[in-house]
Amino acid sequence: MKNTIIKSLFLAFTLLMIQGCSRADENADVLAQEEVSSVILAVEEQGTGVVQSYTYVANAAHYPHLHLETGKIYDVQVIFRNGSEDITQEIIEERDEHFLIYDFKNAEISLVRTDAEIRNDGKRLGIAVQWTVNQIATTDARLELTLYHDPVTVDEGQNGTAWGSVTGGETDAVAFFDITD
């Protein structure tokens, strides 16, 4: 009798857990995270009209080399691709579910988010930014660019070497770019 009660309780608990974990009632947008196969930075030195593109391919063994000069200002656009499909507009349209963090390691680069569209919390996603290059280390300078999905809170401010921070959420994509002067 005691075993039957324990088995019944275990079965009821298991069924409750399965039902409680069901994602069937979730919004389709919450379930559909972007598949990012490459990240492209379109970098234009202000006043020149010349755009250089740098492409990071997911899980690549080598990182693209961003050539930046100390004292210069650059306007930067981020482009996300899933194979040959440009998914940047989809991310912009779902900007309240996304946020970009720019972490400049061994480089002093100021960042201003210049996106035209603003998230519901008053913050900017970071697809369009402006960099002011103050100093670049002679070795090991790198940009780590992270796209977050469904962060609970976001902050555009500088946090150590990174511009932006989040609490919660999941990583949709991480791209690495070596920086040279």
Residue 41, beta-bridge partner list: 54, 78
Q: Where are the domains of the chain?
A: 36-180
The DSSP output letter for 46 is T
Using alpha carbons, list the distances in angstroms from residue 143 to 5, 16, 49.
59, 45, 23
Cβ-contact 115, 124 below 8 angstroms: yes
Taking alpha carbons only, the member of 118, 134, 126, 138 closest to residue 163 is 126
Q: What is the pLDDT along the chain (181 residues), one digit of tens a residue?
A: 554 444 444 444 333 333 333 333 333 333 345 699 999 999 999 999 999 999 999 988 899 999 999 999 999 999 999 999 999 999 999 999 999 999 999 999 999 999 999 999 999 999 999 999 999 988 899 999 999 999 999 999 999 999 999 999 999 999 999 999 8
